[in-house]
Copies of this chain bind each other. A is one copy, B any other.
Amino acid sequence: MCSSFDPGKCPTVSEMLSRLGDKWTVLIIMVLRNGPQRFSDIKRTVVGVSQRMLTLTLRALERDGMVRRTVYATVPPRVEYELTELGRSFSEPIQAFGGWVFENYNQIHAARAEFDARSEAERGNDKLIKIG
């Protein structure tokens, strides 16, 4: 058990944070919010994901209890993935975070533009100094 939710004190928190950071986890969770999906459906919906990464990501989510995997003994095989209750709950703070970024989109990009302009200017000054 961890003493607090400080990522520095709770490895699990930082693990889950880096989960969020990988390219596919969040996308897949969002897709699964629409209900159970087959492997190939997810692959089709999450544009650009490779078979390998889809498998690995789903496995990790399954291991953490976020996703339930159901195999139907048909031929060809049919495997369905769906969010567990835990997984659905997990998706809430993620949505909240996405919402925050969306709301503050303009401020972030304004800050970047200003920072980049400033850097550009400094490089320009350096040039002048060196030339002069």
Taking Cβ atoms with an 8 Å cutoff, the residues of A that contact B are 1-2, 4-8, 10, 12-14, 16-23, 26-27, 30, 46-47, 62-66, 86, 89-90, 92-102, 104-105, 107-112, 114-116
Contact = CB atoms under 8 A, between A and B. Distances in A.
How many subunits of this chain does the assembly comprise?
2
A102 B7 contact: no
B96 A93 contact: yes
Contact of A63 (B2, B64, B99, B115): B115
Contacts of A109: 12
Contacts of A102: 2, 4-5, 10, 13
17 contacts: A5-B95, A7-B26, A10-B101, A10-B102, A13-B101, A14-B23, A16-B101, A17-B20, A20-B21, A63-B115, A65-B107, A65-B111, A65-B115, A89-B100, A93-B99, A93-B100, A97-B97
Contacts of A116: 63
